[in-house]
Amino acid sequence: MLPEDADSEYKSRSQIKREMEALQDLGETLVTLKAEQLAAIHLSDKLRDAIIAARAITERGARRRQLQYIGKLMRDVDAEPIRQALDTLNNRGRQAAAQFHRLERWRDRLLNEGDAALSEFIEEHPAADRQRIRQLLRNAQREIQADKPPAAARALFRYLREVSDTEGVEKKQ
């Protein structure tokens, strides 16, 4: 029988095994990251080297052993900051996708609604060049009527992204 004080800290072997497997899974996630994403996460040199080595291993059994080794190294590291960094990386991707879809909707509205949508866009983005947008819109509409590839619509999208990115940088400063 365990003392009452130790009861709150007691972990079954199954619980310990689940925690170790979770750390190994976290290590496997780190192995799949791009080099610049991995560089953004603070890791010990030994763990970083093990992750880089795991990327080079193609044989299934050797890779599994390397992932187990990474899991073992992860036991000595506080995993919470790593999880938070991975969440931040995932959120950046979601935010970029949301921004992309928002700009696509603006482009479609500008092409379909014309001056009404343009006025709204200029209100939201005062740094935008109204004349340039109108010119891109005219070119895109001509392409649509002539059943040509949407080069001007793509140029319009790029300009909308440029305006949005410029304003995003100005807000951060």
Q: Which two tokens stand for residue 32?
A: 């799949």
Please state the pTM of the whole predicted model.
Answer: 0.54
Q: What is the DSSP letter of 71?
A: H
Looking at the domain that runs over 12-77, which CATH code has it been given?
1.10.60.30
pLDDT tens-digit map of 31-88: 999 988 899 899 999 999 999 999 999 999 999 999 999 999 998 989 999 999 888 8
Chain centroid to CA 164 = 18
Q: Where are the domains of the chain?
A: 12-77, 93-172
DSSP class per residue in 4-54 = HHHHTT---HHHHHHHHHHHHHHHHHHHHS-HHHHHTS---HHHHHHHHHH
Residue 1: per-residue pLDDT = 45
CATH fold group of domain 93-172: Diphtheria Toxin Repressor; domain 2 (1.10.60)
Q: How far apart are CA 44 and CA 24, in angstroms?
A: 16
pLDDT tens-digit map of 146-163: 999 989 999 999 999 999
Taken in order 74, 76, 80, 84, is the CA torsion positive or negative? Answer: negative
Domains 12-77 and 93-172 share a fold: yes
Averaged confidence pLDDT in the chain: 87
Residue 104: per-residue pLDDT = 93
